């Protein structure tokens, strides 16, 4: 039962993220997209900070199942709030059940929208970034516990500082990405910030400097995500945005699976405990370089697509 529940949770979570990002892109103009994603990212990171704290308090004061009931209640509240969200545009009048069956040319159009240069190149970038994020979340707690003798409280403080940095900087970095030609540059900068975090954990020079790495990496994460999801909005038409977002998100999840379930265990078995962080640094720097290489081609494609 727990496995089935986790599968359903994953489907719901991934579906919400894809729909949410596509909706924000549909509702906001190009020059405000980064700011909109930044504000929403700040709210998400605030929830990431409060959620574990609330779950820990509830599990200590009440039964272990209480956090699950609280999560279910919050999910229900989110569902009812979602019913109040205005649609992007007025729907066409219902013209019979045949209108619900996708047309062949519409399906072909959706396929072509996810098999073009912008979608495939952004999928590769996001695949690598999600792989590095999975390595980070899997390896960092064990590395800091073993090599820095951190306990659960120390790790929680580091994650809290990272989340707080994301909450504070996210709107500003999102607005920065709205400047003309800045999307991929801010993306690359965010990846470099995350690479610095990986480097600090790899060298583990001490608690203070490692905390500094978590803070800088926490600021880099929304810098990447805000610019990335805004870029999807810049590169897609409204009718294809959901399909492209779903394709990129699905492809990126394979990066998460490979990073956490394959790369980290293999590196630990064949090398040393801190090796995954060194590899993570190389992946992030390579991804930042790839983002910079894509800057000019994607700009060209964007201009052609919007003439």
Instruction: Give all domains of the chain, ordered by start, each with its CATH number.
Output: 2-85+115-295 (1.20.1250.20)
Dig out the tokens for 104 from the structure: 């062949």
Q: What is the pLDDT of residue 110?
A: 57
pLDDT value at residue 22: 80
| Distances 38 to 44, 173, 256, 287 between C-alpha atoms, Å | 10, 7, 23, 21
- Let me know if 84 is exposed, middle or buried by CB neighbors in 10 A (0-12, 13-18, 19+): exposed
- pLDDT of 183 reads 87
d(CA 298, CA 254): 24
Q: What are the φ and ψ backbone dihedral angles of 269, each rounded to 5 degrees?
A: -70, -40
Question: Two tokens at 263?
Answer: 């790369």
The answer to whether residues 15 and 253 touch, using CB atoms and an 8 Å cutoff, is: no
pLDDT score, position 102: 52
CA 259 from chain center: how many Å? 15
Q: What is the pLDDT of residue 209?
A: 94
Q: Are 147 and 273 in contact (CB under 8 A)?
A: yes
pLDDT of residue 219: 93
Joined tokens for residue 302? 């964007």
Tell me how many degrees the CA angle 159-252-70 measures, rounded to the nearest 5: 50
pLDDT by position in tens, the chain (length 307): 777 877 787 777 777 777 777 888 888 887 888 888 888 878 887 887 788 778 878 888 888 888 888 888 988 888 888 888 777 664 444 444 444 445 555 555 556 666 788 888 999 999 999 999 999 999 999 999 998 899 888 888 898 899 899 999 999 988 888 887 788 899 999 999 999 999 999 998 888 999 999 999 999 999 999 999 888 888 877 777 777 888 888 888 899 999 988 999 999 999 999 999 999 999 999 999 999 998 888 877 664 444 3
């Amino acid at each position: 039962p727990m496995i089935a529940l986790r599968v359903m949770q994953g489907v719901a979570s991934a579906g919400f993220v894809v729909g949410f990002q596509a909706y924000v892109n549909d509702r906001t103009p190009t020059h405000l997209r980064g700011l909109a994603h930044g504000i929403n990212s700040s709210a998400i990171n605030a929830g990431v900070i409060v959620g574990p704290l609330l779950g820990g308090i509830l599990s200590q004061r009440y039964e272990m199942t209480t956090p699950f009931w609280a999560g279910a209640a919050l999910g229900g509240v989110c569902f009812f709030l979602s019913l109040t969200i205005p649609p992007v545009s007025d729907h066409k009048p219902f013209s019979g059940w045949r209108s619900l069956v996708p047309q062949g040319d519409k399906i072909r159009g959706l396929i072509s929208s996810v098999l073009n240069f912008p979608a495939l190149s952004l999928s590769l970038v996001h695949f690598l970034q999600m792989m590095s994020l999975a390595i980070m979340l899997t390896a960092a707690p064990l590395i800091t516990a073993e090599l820095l003798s951190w306990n659960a409280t120390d790790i929680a403080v580091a994650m809290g500082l990272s989340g707080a940095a994301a909450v504070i900087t996210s709107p500003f970095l999102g607005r920065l990405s709205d400047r003309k030609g800045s999307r991929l540059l801010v993306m690359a900068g965010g990846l470099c910030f995350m690479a610095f975090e990986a480097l600090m954990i790899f060298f583990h020079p001490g608690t203070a400097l490692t905390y500094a790495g978590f803070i800088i990496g926490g600021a880099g994460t929304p810098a990447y995500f805000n610019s990335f999801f805004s870029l999807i909005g810049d590169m897609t038409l409204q009718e294809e945005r959901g399909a492209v977002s779903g394709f990129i998100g699905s492809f990126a999840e394979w990066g998460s699976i490979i990073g956490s379930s394959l790369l980290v265990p293999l590196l630990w078995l064949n090398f040393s405990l801190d090796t995954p962080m060194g590899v993570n640094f190389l992946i992030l720097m390579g991804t930042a370089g790839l983002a910079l290489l894509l800057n000019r081609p994607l700009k060209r494609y964007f201009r052609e697509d919007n003439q």
